[in-house]
């Protein structure tokens, strides 16, 4: 598993793989538990190989570590993946087997909802796992809320307005991917006067965004290169390639999709071109904040979601001051918090 070997050379604590009934791979990655148990979603998606599924789990778990640290949460980073088609292969038995796999980690990993799973699925997994999140609340609306707060910060930065002014009226935003998070982003943006362009592999999702929220439709080939102010990938990751970064017409990229950059070097390319880039593990942290609140019983978590915009501003300022790209700046700030907690232990 070459991709896994490459990623495993980084500072991961655990990678566990089980074969489920039907031959499906259940994969759990735990990156870092310095701040607390690893919380991360259960993703059910059909990958071309188990190697690619494991590599995705590792990438996502690492991003969750940084996401939790920057959000100020007492949690580490983890993720689990089931290499299966959620529409055809997902079953109660599959979820139960995955739940037993989670239970074997003894509470080091807390699962939540992700692509291909929802509250009902987490309820099944929770019958076996020591603790779960998202079994009573869908985190998608809070993910969308944090992304919109990030877009507002970027809009204010591009226009020179101060934080707190609503710079969404008339803003042109292209959203790639109209799943639960993407549709929530479209709904919130259009409600505040933004002009939104959408694309998705499912024509019904596009039609929903157009008819319900007044968005305009484009194609998947054109959405990231559209003549807009902000591009917002909100589907699968690794979509912003060097080629895309070099051809962007937008002034900013704000990630809702996890791991939206195809390669770490893409962030430097965006910065060199003067494109404002908000790391996805910062802007999409609202879902994690919601999941953490569900686990802890916190009912006052919305303010923390809304403060994501302020975190974005801090990171963009730090990147400018240090002459780095925002991804590098954000990871440095996250590692600083983790190192401080580790040193105090």
Report the catalytic residues. Answer: 79
- Cα 121 to chain centroid distance, Å, stands at 19
Distance CA 94, CA 25 (A): 10
Token pair for 308:
């994501």
Distance CA 34, CA 40 (A): 15
Closest CA to 40 of 90, 1, 78: 78
Give the DSSP per-residue string, 133-194.
SSSSS-SHHHHHHHHHHHHHHHHHHHHTPPTTS-TTTT-EEEEE--SHHHHHHHHHHHHTT-
Distance CA 345, CA 93 (A): 41
Q: How many CA atoms lie within 13 A of 57 on its CB side?
A: 37
Which residues are CB-contacts of 212 (< 8 A; sequence separation ≥ 6)?
Answer: 187
- Ordered strands of the 172-176 beta sheet: 216-217, 195-199, 172-176, 230-233, 252-254, 276-278
Under 8 Å between Cβ of 283 and 260 = no
């Amino acid at each position: 598993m070459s991709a896994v070997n490459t990623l495993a050379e980084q500072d991961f604590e655990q990678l566990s793989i089980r074969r489920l009934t039907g031959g499906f791979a259940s994969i759990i990655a735990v990156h870092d538990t310095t701040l607390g148990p690893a919380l991360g979603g259960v993703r059910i998606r059909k990958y071309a190989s188990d190697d690619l599924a494991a590599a995705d789990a590792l990438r996502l778990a690492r991003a969750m570590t940084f996401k939790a640290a920057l959000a100020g949460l007492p949690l580490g980073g983890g993720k689990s993946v089931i290499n299966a088609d959620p529409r055809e292969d997902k079953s109660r038995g599959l979820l139960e087997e995955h739940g037993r796999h989670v239970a074997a980690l003894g509470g080091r990993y807390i699962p939540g909802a992700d692509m291909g799973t929802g509250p009902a699925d987490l309820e099944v997994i929770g019958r076996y796992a020591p603790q779960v999140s998202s079994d009573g609340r869908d985190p998608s609306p809070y993910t969308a809320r944090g992304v919109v707060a990030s877009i507002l910060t970027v809009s204010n930065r591009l226009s020179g307005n101060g934080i707190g002014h609503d710079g969404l009226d008339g803003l042109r935003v292209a959203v790639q991917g109209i799943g639960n998070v993407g549709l929530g982003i479209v709904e919130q943006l259009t409600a505040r006067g933004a002009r939104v362009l959408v694309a998705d592999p499912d024509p019904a999702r596009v039609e929903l965004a157009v008819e319900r929220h007044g968005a305009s439709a484009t194609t998947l080939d054109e959405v990231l290169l559209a003549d807009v102010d902000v591009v917002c990938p909100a589907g699968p990751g690794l979509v912003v390639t060097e080629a895309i970064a070099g051809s962007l017409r937008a002034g900013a990229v704000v990630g809702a999709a996890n791991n939206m950059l195809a390669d770490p070097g893409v962030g430097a390319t965006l910065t060199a071109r003067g494109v404002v880039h908000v790391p996805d593990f910062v802007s999409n942290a609202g879902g994690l904040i919601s999941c953490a609140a569900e686990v802890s019983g916190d009912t006052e978590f919305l303010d923390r979601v809304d403060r994501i915009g302020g975190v974005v501003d801090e990171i963009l300022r730090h990147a400018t001051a240090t002459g780095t790209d925002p991804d590098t700046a954000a990871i440095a700030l996250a590692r600083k918090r983790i190192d401080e907690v580790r040193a105090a232990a």
